[in-house]
Chain A
Amino acid sequence: MGVPVIIVTGASGGVGRGIALACAKVGWTVWIAARREQEGSAVVKEIDQLGGQGRFVFCDSGDQASVQNAVDEVIAQDGGLHGVVHNATSGLSPQPTVLSEISMDDLQNHVAVSLRGSYLLAKAAYQHLCKTQGSLVLLTSEAGFEGKARLPAYAAVKAGQRGLARSLAREWGNNKVRVNAVAPLASTPAMERAFELDSAMEQRVMARNPLSYLGDSVEDIGSAVRFLLSEDSRYITGHTLMVDGGSCPVT
Chain B
Amino acid sequence: MEQSYSPLLIGNKNCSELKIFTDRLRADFLAMPELPSVSENSEENDWYWSEALQQWRDKNCGGKTYSKIVVAIWQQSPTAKALVDMSLEDWLQRCEAPIAWWTAALGCAQALCKDDGAVVAVVEQPAVLDAESWTAEVSVAEAVAALSKSLARSEGGRGVRFNTVTTPARISNFNSLVDPQPPLTSFPGSIEKEVIGAVKLLLDDNASGLTGRVLNADCGRSM
Contacts and interface: CB of A to CB of B under 8 A. Distances in A.
Nearest to A158: B146
Interface residues of B, number: 48
Given A144-B142, A155-B147, A156-B147, A115 B99 contact: yes
A167 B100 contact: no
Interface string A80-102: 00000000000000000011111
Given A156-B143, A171-B133, A119 B47 contact: no
Contacts of A115: 95-96, 99, 139, 143
A146 B149 contact: yes
Interface stretch (A43-51, A104-112, A192-200, A214-222): A104-112
A81 to B, nearest CB: 15
B135 A171 contact: yes
Contacts of B57: 100
Q: Classify the interface of chain A: helix, strand, loop or mixed.
A: helix
A164 B95 CA distance: 10
Given A116-B91, A156-B143, A171-B83, A164 B138 contact: yes
A120 B87 CA distance: 10
Contacts of A168: 83, 135
B143 A159 contact: yes
Interface stretch (B3-11, B32-40, B151-159, B198-206): B151-159
B146 A147 contact: yes
Given A107-B100, A126-B84, A156-B103, A163 B150 contact: no
A156 B164 CA distance: 14
A77 interface: no
B200 to A, nearest CB: 24
B107 A101 contact: yes
Contact of A166 (B54, B138, B149): B138
Contacts of A166: 128, 131, 138
B165 interface: no
A53 interface: no
Nearest to A161: B139
Contact of A160 (B47, B139, B151): B139
Most buried by A among B47, B100, B103: B103
B142 A149 contact: no
A145 B54 CA distance: 27
A162 B144 CA distance: 12
A205 interface: no
Given A99-B147, A99-B150, A116-B96, A159 B142 contact: yes
B134 interface: yes
Contacts of A156: 99, 103, 143-144, 146-147, 150
A174 to B, nearest CB: 10
A131 interface: no
Question: Which of A99, A108, A146, A150 has the largest count of B CB atoms less than 10 A from its CB?
Answer: A99
Given A144-B146, A156-B103, A159-B146, A104 B86 contact: no
5 contacts: A99-B151, A123-B86, A148-B150, A157-B143, A162-B142
Interface of A: 64, 98-105, 107-108, 111, 115-116, 119-120, 122-123, 126, 143-153, 155-164, 166-168, 170-171, 238
Given A100-B107, A101-B107, A170-B128, 9 more contacts: A98-B154, A104-B54, A111-B100, A116-B96, A122-B83, A160-B139, A163-B138, A171-B83, A171-B132
